[in-house]
């Protein structure tokens, strides 16, 4: 069936901490589809029971929900149960990559480079020994929730005295917290579209790291694409990113974040299985560098939707 003859639901909004970002991404995706003659409609799961999509005549889903409830395997499972093809990763890859801790454990098992970390949960918080953590991982440290996206709940910790309060702050967002060695080098993000690694984007935030403000609000965050890497390093990064993408079972499209340590060695950070598609978003920036317009990108992602 010609996709232009299908009724397409653009899932946007939702109930996660990234709702506003998803609404913006969804608006851009919807406009791109409608402008090219697709029968696309906005569907916000906060206001509409997605179980009814097939009954209401929808044939396919462009899922641009971010965060929990849309990017963590639950929506993917529901869509498979009702028999609707959808964009992006399947149930397993979506669920796994939403959990930063287990993603990193898997990558490490494959021999791929990740930051050294300590895992803290609500249950073992009382056993946290900040001094021992600092002795093992050094200072500064990054503290982050394992299951949140869009840099929600992150703190840069510069002294042993501030570590416990940063962990307690992150525990407001999730039951599992990662304390990681600080990666002082370049911050990069690398999109993958249908197994093809697109040009890396180098991120230079105005502040000390790429937090929510830098991602979605600040106009002073700088993005460089091409990233300014040597040909050899760009190739090495592309190989690493493809290995990381395959290891967790991604399909369709995803964006993989990578940091460099003080020596310039790459460290895998996380996977975004429904990357942002807003005016500040990095997947479209990279695609444009590769000669793919925003409209072409949206249609390409739709065409990759699982059967």
Q: Which of 22, 25, 94, 281 is catalytic?
A: 281
- Indicate the pairing of strand 196-197 with strand 155-157: unpaired
Annotation says 150 is catalytic: yes
Q: Which of 22, 150, 286, 305 is catalytic?
A: 150
Q: Is 272 annotated as a binding residue?
A: yes
Place of tokens 């460099």: 260
Residue 304 phi, psi dihedral angles, 5° rounding? -85, 0
Q: Which of 16, 18, 146, 187 is catalytic?
A: 18
Select from 206, 174, 183 the least CA-distant residue to 257: 183
71-103: string of b/e by CB count within 10 Å (b at 16+)? bbbebbebbeeeebbbbbbbbebbbbbbbbbeb
**Please, which residues have CB within 8 angstroms of residue 280's CB and are 6 or more apart in sequence?**
215, 216, 221
Reduced to 3 states (helix: H, G, I; strand: E, B; else coil), residue 203 is strand
14-24: string of b/e by CB count within 10 Å (b at 16+)? bebbbbebbbb
What is the rounded radius of gyration, in angstroms, for the C-alpha atoms of the chain? Answer: 19
Residue 2 phi, psi dihedral angles, 5° rounding? -65, 130
Residue 218 in tokens: 């600040």
Annotation says 305 is catalytic: no
Reduced to 3 states (helix: H, G, I; strand: E, B; else coil), residue 42 is strand
Residue 96 in tokens: 């796994």
| Residues recognised as catalytic | 18, 150, 281
Question: Binding site membership for Mg(2+): which residues?
Answer: 257, 270, 272
Question: Binding site membership: which residues?
Answer: 257, 270, 272
């Amino acid at each position: 069936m010609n996709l232009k003859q299908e009724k397409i639901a653009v899932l946007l909004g939702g109930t996660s901490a990234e709702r506003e970002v998803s609404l913006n991404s969804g608006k851009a995706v919807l406009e791109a589809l409608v402008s090219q003659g697709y029968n696309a409609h906005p569907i916000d799961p906060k206001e509409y029971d997605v179980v009814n999509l097939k009954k209401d005549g929808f044939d396919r889903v462009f899922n641009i929900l971010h965060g929990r409830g849309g990017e963590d395997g639950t929506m993917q499972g529901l869509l498979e149960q009702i028999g609707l093809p959808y964009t992006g990763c399947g149930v397993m890859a979506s669920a796994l990559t939403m959990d930063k801790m287990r993603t990193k454990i898997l990558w490490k098992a494959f021999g791929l480079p990740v930051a050294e970390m300590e895992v803290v949960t609500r249950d073992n918080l009382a056993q946290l020994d900040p001094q021992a953590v600092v002795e093992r991982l050094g200072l500064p440290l990054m503290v982050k929730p394992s299951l949140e996206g869009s840099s929600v709940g992150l703190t840069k910790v510069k002294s042993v005295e501030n570590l416990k309060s940063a962990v307690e702050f992150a525990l407001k967002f999730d039951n599992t917290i990662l304390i990681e060695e600080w990666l002082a080098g370049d911050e990069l993000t690398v999109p993958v579209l249908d197994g093809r690694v697109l040009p890396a984007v180098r991120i230079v935030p105005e502040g000390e790291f790429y937090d929510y403000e830098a991602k979605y609000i600040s106009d002073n965050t700088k993005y460089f694409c091409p990233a300014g890497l040597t040909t050899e390093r760009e190739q090495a990064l592309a190989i690493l990113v493809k290995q990381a993408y395959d290891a967790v079972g991604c399909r369709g499209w995803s964006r993989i974040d990578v940091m460099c340590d003080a020596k310039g060695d790459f460290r895998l950070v996380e996977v975004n299985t429904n990357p942002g598609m807003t005016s500040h978003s990095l997947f479209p920036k990279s695609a444009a560098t590769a000669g793919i317009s925003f409209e072409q990108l949206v249609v390409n992602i739709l065409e990759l939707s699982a059967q």
